[in-house]
Chain A
């Protein structure tokens, strides 16, 4: 397989530079990238159909993009494509948003933070920052002077948000053209940013026809804190604290991802016991996150009782965390090398007591809610996402598994103790709202089974490996993926040998979930939009970072 890929790339782009480490990494000149991408995507024996991440880079002399692509039929083979342009005043690259739908939002983010304009992108606008922002923050020569970007005292106008100059490739070369998001006569309703049902500060602009939704345009950035830029001046242990605050409902798993990435980079061997503890905490966090996701979904439907029940059971998990780790939602438990301190003596027994309790409660939830005809009427037969759409939009996690796409990172690239226990990823095929709902509850049951195996086989030993006081990562680029409660959470660290990363990028599962709202909901009713959003279960700070 590796040789075939190399041959194909070299045949289309002879000047490409190919490195083979754990994955094939090819640096391709910018004008040949599209051809290579199309070939890798569409060839029968390649089928790299999942674009996991599109990382904008400022390499000093050049600005470029790194593409992380995976091939689902070939057991998620990983290939990295890199391209760059040395034109720093107005850099331009060709878009891949018609090849992989997930690239549409990723490229907007790269334009926003690095400044690269993508030719033929359908509607290139800034993603997180205001339309009138000066500068591109993730560039190394960015001027962070507050006088350049004063806090505005009047609101950004809607026209600023909705019209933009895009680049199209015509016969005369690359030419600019104007792009209008909504037509004159469209009836547009704002949902959010402050809204009881958007699961965070998400601003959706919805174009309605009566009760039917025509088009949705999400507007991010209300909780953009510049985490990636901040991390460039923090040491690696300091970065860990920021990861909890991304997708805060699966904070433990995010921290786990960064720890694994750093440990892989410095070649640190983590003790068995630490792996088991980390896995147990991950699964408990997954249960807590799914309970909250379930509760919020029911609350959006009007059944506030179900939300309170979900919270009540989540409190039990929070109490277990608090006893061992000190924190409830932000447990601050994983560190580079293992966990911060050993588990409390009561920990294993409390987890053992929790498992049958949760099973009993799950049965009640199924009787109360899943069997309810009103709930079924609200969820069944609505909001379909086909498998191809799921892969193209990069919808990972339970939402993707409900559409029949096997994307569980715990099975594909096992980490921690996942290769030592037996479990099955929960899958459904229809891809509707009800399937996404039921996959989450099934996953809670599966996590309980995993916990049973883990607490019975906990090895003795150290809970943390010794690390140096200051951790420096050798020069290079490192990727790591972890199965978040919402999907494929990826970490990319590019290091120049310092104690802070040169560039760190978090691949958020939730951005693709929100981008999938548009194809799912067009044609459905407004009330269904709320349910579809709840079934996708996105958390906005994860998107905005």
Chain B
């Protein structure tokens, strides 16, 4: 398998040894490169996801979707991006201006910080904390502050209702999502993301012998709770178009709205990516224990392709569910979390602990 560490080491070597830049500046330049790469990857992935969603949504609805701008409508996202950058930003009369401007940044920062910790391929990650999972859960919660601030500072009753609902929903579903991830931590024995993926060398977590049962349940729970986290799918009441006219981001226009839109798509990607890393083996190719030749062939497919392929499958499930089901009401949503999902995830954690100790 191609280890991306070779490339990063080469760049480091180039800057530090061959050109001879002092250590401080080498690090600074490397940070800037990483930042630029991740920000562009973030934006480009979001554009691709927007296009994919529109096409898949259209196919579900027996229609074609965008097909005029470029062949098969491929340039549609770019046209949309240019449009949203050129839009006028309408300033609201009596809003709390500082918080109003600050809110989208919280959402985007939470999203980018999570994005940066994901392992995209062997050696292809920006940060590799030894408390990786813990860091992911902590940082993805930053988005909630952004949503509450947006609803409050817009000086609008609708946005306030939407933000309240969203806050309640996100805080509740964090718990189930975290417990599902903890289940895998119990199985792997480590929180470090690259270690979790390495340990799935022989077989992916979801097929891992007897532990497959609690892992599979945790996978389903994580996918459900993760989507509730991203305000997508059947859980999009806070931004329910037909009820509150776009909820907490009603008063945002132009690129400020673009931030929320971007963050929503990327959160969907991130939820799928975390699910892939932790349950489906991340960038690890499909290895079947005992089939050496098969495993060898699987290794030839680059790890980045494996990662994005698995994420694509999870994203497809997300889109499928979103365009099929109606949305849950807020009290049904919260009842579902606290009375059904949370007890199941706690029991599941217990079950996993038993399986790991006894087997």
Chain A interfacial positions (CB closer than 8 Å to B):
187, 189, 195-197, 211, 298-305, 308-309, 312, 368-369, 372, 374-375, 377-378, 525-528, 530
Contact = CB atoms under 8 A, between A and B. Distances in A.
7 contacts: A187-B157, A300-B242, A302-B236, A302-B327, A305-B324, A374-B325, A525-B329
Contacts of B237: 527
Decide if the interface of chain A is mainly helix, strand, loop or mixed. helix
Interface string B47-65: 0000000000000111100
Contact of A302 (B158, B240, B245): B240
B248 to A, nearest CB: 15
Give the bracket for the number of chain B residues in contact with chain A: 20 to 34
B332 to A, nearest CB: 6
Given A189-B158, A374-B234, A528 B329 contact: yes
B62 A196 contact: no
B323 A526 contact: no
B61 A197 contact: no
Contacts of B220: none
B251 to A, nearest CB: 15
Interface string B230-244: 000010110011110
A300 B244 CA distance: 11
B69 to A, nearest CB: 21
B301 interface: no
Interface of B: 60-63, 157-158, 161, 234, 236-237, 240-243, 245, 323-332
Given A304-B323, A308-B61, A309-B61, A530 B242 contact: yes
Contact of B326 (A196, A308, A374, A526): A374
A304 B327 contact: no
Contacts of B158: 189
B63 A196 contact: no
B62 A308 contact: yes
Contacts of A525: 329-331
A300 B240 CA distance: 9
B325 A302 contact: yes
A309 B70 CA distance: 27
A476 B327 CA distance: 54
Given A378-B329, A528-B329, A299 B157 contact: no
B241 A298 contact: no
Highest count of chain B CB atoms <10 Å: which of A187, A305, A372, A527: A527
A300 B245 CA distance: 11
A195 B245 contact: yes
A375 B237 CA distance: 14
B63 to A, nearest CB: 7
Given A189-B158, A308-B62, A309-B61, A530 B328 contact: no
Contacts of A368: 324
B140 to A, nearest CB: 24
A308 B61 CA distance: 6
Highest count of chain B CB atoms <10 Å: which of A189, A304, A375: A304
Contact of A211 (B234, B327, B328, B330): B330
Contact of A374 (B240, B241, B328): B328
A527 B330 contact: yes
A312 B62 contact: yes
B326 A309 contact: no
A467 B323 CA distance: 54
Contacts of A369: 326
A304 to B, nearest CB: 7
Given A189-B157, A302-B234, A312-B62, A197 B243 contact: yes
A187 B158 CA distance: 12
Nearest to A377: B332
A375 B329 CA distance: 10
Contacts of B63: 308
Nearest to B158: A189
